[in-house]
Each structure stands twice: as structure tokens, then as C-alpha cells.
Amino acid sequence: MSHTVFEISTHGQGLYELTDEVARWVAGEGQLEAALTLIVQHTSASLLIQENADPDVQVDLKAYFARLAPPTSDPSMSYLTHTYEGPDDMPAHIKASMLPITITIPIISGRMALGTWQGLYLFEHRDRAHLRRVVALLR
């Protein structure tokens, strides 16, 4: 049983891959069969397991969710009240509710049991640069 913290520097909305960084830590811990739980300690970013092959998928995911929950400056979002942290803040809370904040991945034979095309991402929902903390527990 062990834990660590990953820190990810983000610079605007989009997906930031952390598959390799997490895989290295898991390999170093030497547990062959375990559960890896990750949690992002923020309410305006998510964790996502998604396609790591074609980067267009990541561009499209960002575009889709930006339209599903547009900035509060958009007329369609005028009914929202939490606006004083900026027009990108409340949509960020919405996206951080719809997309995972915590995920658990089985570790089999010492490796994350991800499919061939699956990568692990932090999905940043704010416009400005942030340092995001992801706590990992392996047990």
C-alpha cells in the first residue's frame, strides 16, 4: 500500500496526458495485483480515460464540452448566477460534475489494465494556467 501526488501544470482548457508518469510510479511500487485510485483535488478539472492514438479526438472532446457548457457570458447561460470568478468558472464546475473527478483502475501483473488505445488524462476546464494536484493510492 502506498500513495503519491502528481502535479500537473496546465495552460488553458484541454487534455493533458499523464499515462506514462502514472505507469512509471505504479511499476516502481512493484505491486502485481492492486487497485489504483486517483482523485483530482479540484472542482474545475476532471480525470479522463480516452483515446491516445489520434490527437483530433482530444481537440473534438474539448470543443464538444465547450459547447455543451459554454461560458456564462453566452446568452444561453444567462440564468446562471455564479459568475464572479469569471465566465469560464461555472462551466468548469459543470464539466467537473459530468466528467470523472475520481477513477479506479485495476492493476494486473503490475500494470494498469488499460486497453490498447486508452490513455489517462487530466482535463483542464479553466482558461488560465493552473497547477493541479492528483492524489494516487495503490492498494
Minimum CB separation of residue 77 from a copy of itself in Å reads 8
Name the phi and psi angles at 96, rounded to 5: -70, -10
**Residue 28 or 59 having the CB closest to a copy of itself:** 59
State the residues that interact with a copy of itself by CB under 8 A: 1, 3, 33-35, 37, 39-43, 48-51, 54, 56-57, 59-61, 63-65, 67-69, 79-82, 90, 93-94, 96-108, 113-118, 133, 135-137, 139
Q: Can you tell me the distance from the alpha carbon of 4 to that of 138, in angstroms, rounded to the nearest whole number?
A: 9
The contacts of residue 43 (CB under 8 Å, 6+ apart) are 92, 93, 96, 101
In the complex, the smallest distance separating the C-beta of residue 21 from a copy of itself, rounded to whole angstroms, is 17
Least distance (Å) between residue 13 CB and a copy of itself: 14
- To the nearest whole angstrom, how small is the minimum distance from the Cβ of residue 12 to a copy of itself? 18
What are the residues whose beta carbons fall under 8 Å from the beta carbon of 134, sequence distance 6 or more?
Answer: 5, 6, 7, 8, 18, 38, 39, 40, 41, 47, 122
Nearer to a copy of itself by Cβ, of 12 and 106: the residue is 106
Among the listed residues 102, 80, 103, 104, the one whose alpha carbon sits nearest the alpha carbon of residue 92: 80
